[in-house]
Amino acid sequence: MPFIGETRRASPGMDSRVPKKQTTAGKKARAAARAGEKYTTALRGQLPSGTGPAAMSPATDPARRPGLAHRALMDGGPGWRPFRGTGLFRRIGGQQAVDRLVDLLYEGISADAQLRPLFPRDLAGSRSRQKLFFAEWLGGPGRYSEQAHAGLRHTHDGLPITAALADRWLGHLRRALEATVTAGDDRAAIAAVARCLATALVSGQVAPARPAGRGRRPGGKGGNNSAPSNNSAPGNSAPGNSAPGNSAPRPVAWCGIGARSVARARDLAHRGDAAGLGTALAQAPDLLLPSYAAAIMQAAALAGRAEIIAMLLERGVGADHPFFLPVNVTGMAFERVVFVTPLCAARMKRRRAAEAALMAAGAREDVFTSAFLGDRDSLARMLAADPGLAQAADPAVDVLAVTPVDHAVAGGQAGALRLLLGHAGLDHAVDPAAGYARALRGAAAQGSAEMAGLLLARGADATRIGVGRWVLHPVLAPLLASHGAAIDSSGAWIGASCTGNQGRTDDPDYVRALLRHGARASDRRGTPSGEQGDPGSAPGSAPDNAAGIRALNATALHYAARAGFLRTIEVLLEHGADPGARDSRGRTPLDWLEEAAPSVSRAAVRELLAPRS
């Protein structure tokens, strides 16, 4: 039985799955749900004073702004940024308190046999990201939005989250709060909002996202099979949803086995195969859930398949539900965060028949569409009516602060960006420079000195731009460097320039430019900035709790040797790289050479790395 946006009443199945160990607010909301009110809506009304919709302006709850509610893929409970401007982050102790909160939360999760299978094998990376997330969510710095790729809805789709599992997670959070947040009112406010979000993330899928025994995440390989499927909760059976002749509906997810159903449906929509798509939808009814259906609708809109659009509309798919554009359209800075409506997708490709079909179904214009497509007349009208739209966060990415400014940059629309920045800051509830770090990275990646200059003039923080080919640009490089842009010692630049991954080739000019702008030949990939050179650490030792690439703690020369990048090796040696440097396992660059592909000239690499007399 779907939990999010699919029903206005509490069915017996839903009622049996609503957590029984509830706060008073939860009990009142549950009673209201039995009477016909939506559970999450009822729960919002029980929040402590000073939080939730009553305490928020539309600027902090973007789905409440006129003209944006259609972009939401998920009921966000009391808004996605309920603590912004409340002083909560500072009051509870800032980042130090948040770090301890997340550490305690993850200690509980790692020891929970029911929850642990839903998380990655290595919790270190997840834990560090959650510290950024909780800091931003509790009203602190927006570092999470600067770098995250995908909101809560998309990252949780396909996970077999039942109400009982959501309640277990909330129990761990509650215990962590009790140990880290002193004021009872603050604990109650955080717990109440978290319950709304956890309830909204309960899966509405009728099929398990993976066969039993496959991986820790849906579709993953290996691991145990202790993760419960969606069908394990009472009321989750859905007779009539299975395809005729099949014992069970096919799984649907964004990764692994379930992703095949999504990819197949999108391909059928793109090709205009109505019969094939109809069969696919019958075999995997979860494809009609909002986020999956949005992906299929976008495929049809981009290809101009008006007949497929009509078919999806007849099956209840929303004409306005957005989906992210592929990275080859938006660029890496906006990977999986620039969501466009089907109408925007059709207009982008000039698919007139598809546009007409969507308009006839009531598809709506919005500020994100106008910004991405550079429709300045429409944009001017919207901003005149509501200047705060210039900095409105997109409901499609829920917790992430992705704004029309980001969409204008992703679309390469300097005129639209100028117009938006002219209105930014007129809504005093919004920090005018918030969220510009991602936009600045996107402008730099496009090589647009014009857009970068506009953003810098409005206070964009160039120190957050990170690694990129901007270091090679004759205009952008000095412009950004004059505003503090530099390559730090985290070693992220090594992955972008010294490995043979993702089709990279030997690029000594890029490496030389990175070194000119702050990178060091002695940097180690994955070492957080500031950890390098710790006198208490042995050379080549990995930081505590390191995993994956960080655990290797290798230099640029290690990676360049394995990739066989001869000219890059020469540049690194010119800048003082140590051929005898050892990774965390005691291996030198020459040892890494033994793992190189057959095409690598081992003799040439050995000659470059040989000790000089």
- State both tokens at 577: 């790289």
CA–CA dist 459, 482 (Å, integer): 13
Structure confidence by residue, pLDDT tens digits, 104-129:
999 999 999 999 888 888 787 788 88
| 16-20, 323-327, 361-365: least confidently modelled range | 16-20
Query: In this model, does residue 546 exceed pLDDT 90?
Result: no
| 70-79, 362-371, 414-423, 547-556: least confidently modelled range | 70-79
The percent of residues in the chain predicted with pLDDT above 90, rounded, is: 56
Residue 57 belongs to some domain of the structure: no
Pick the residue with more confidence: 610 or 120?
610
Residues 6+ apart with CB under 8 A from 554: 524, 525, 583, 584, 592
Question: How high is the pLDDT of residue 613?
Answer: 58
Q: H or E segment at 324?
A: strand 323-324
Pick the residue with more confidence: 263 or 16?
263
Residue 211 belongs to some domain of the structure: no
The mean pLDDT of the chain is 81
Q: H or E segment at 563?
A: helix 556-563
Question: How high is the pLDDT of residue 5?
Answer: 27
**Does residue 413 share a domain with residue 274?**
yes
Question: How high is the pLDDT of residue 231?
Answer: 38
Question: How high is the pLDDT of residue 577?
Answer: 97
Specify the pTM.
Answer: 0.77
Residue 116 belongs to some domain of the structure: yes
The percent of residues in the chain predicted with pLDDT above 70, rounded, is: 75
Q: Residue 487 carries which DSSP code?
A: -
**Does residue 118 share a domain with residue 12?**
no
Average pLDDT over residues 497-511: 93
Q: How confident is the model at residue 64 (pLDDT cuts 50, 70, 90)?
A: low
Query: In this model, does residue 585 exceed pLDDT 60?
Result: yes
Hey, what long-range contacts does 361-366 have (CB within 8 A, 24 or more apart)? 361/309, 361/313, 361/319, 362/319, 363/319, 363/320, 364/67, 364/70, 364/320, 365/67, 366/67, 366/68, 366/70, 366/71, 366/341
CATH number, domain with residue 98: 1.10.490.10
Residue 49 belongs to some domain of the structure: no
Residue 237 belongs to some domain of the structure: no
Query: In this model, does residue 535 exceed pLDDT 50?
Result: no
Average pLDDT over residues 387-395: 90
| Full domain range(s) for residue 579 | 492-609
CATH number, domain with residue 499: 1.25.40.20
Pick the residue with more confidence: 207 or 218?
207
Structure confidence by residue, pLDDT tens digits, 249-260:
888 888 878 889
Structure confidence by residue, pLDDT tens digits, 210-265:
444 444 443 344 443 333 443 333 333 333 344 444 458 888 888 878 889 999 99
Contact 76, 98 (CB under 8 A): no
Counting Cα atoms < 13 Å in the Cβ hemisphere of 318 gives 19
- State both tokens at 66: 């006129």
Residue 54 belongs to some domain of the structure: no
Note the helical H segments in 332-390: 342-348, 352-360, 367-373, 376-385
Which of 204, 236, 266 is the C-terminal boundary of a domain?
204
- In the chain, the N- to C-terminal Cα span, in Å, equals 74
**Does residue 424 share a domain with residue 350?**
yes
Structure confidence by residue, pLDDT tens digits, 125-160:
788 889 999 998 999 988 888 887 777 777 787 788
**Does residue 501 share a domain with residue 353?**
no
Average pLDDT over residues 278-301: 95
Question: How high is the pLDDT of residue 412?
Answer: 97
Residues 6+ apart with CB under 8 A from 448: 409, 412, 414
Residue 446 belongs to some domain of the structure: yes
Question: What total number of domains does the chain contain?
Answer: 4
**Does residue 432 share a domain with residue 368?**
yes
Residue 479 belongs to some domain of the structure: no
**Does residue 508 share a domain with residue 445?**
no
Question: How high is the pLDDT of residue 442?
Answer: 95
Q: Residue 501 carries which DSSP code?
A: G
Q: How confident is the model at residue 7 (pLDDT cuts 50, 70, 90)?
A: very low
Note the helical H segments in 157-217: 163-180, 184-200
**Does residue 262 share a domain with residue 408?**
yes
Question: How high is the pLDDT of residue 52?
Answer: 45
**Does residue 399 share a domain with residue 275?**
yes
Structure confidence by residue, pLDDT tens digits, 160-178:
888 899 999 999 999 999 9
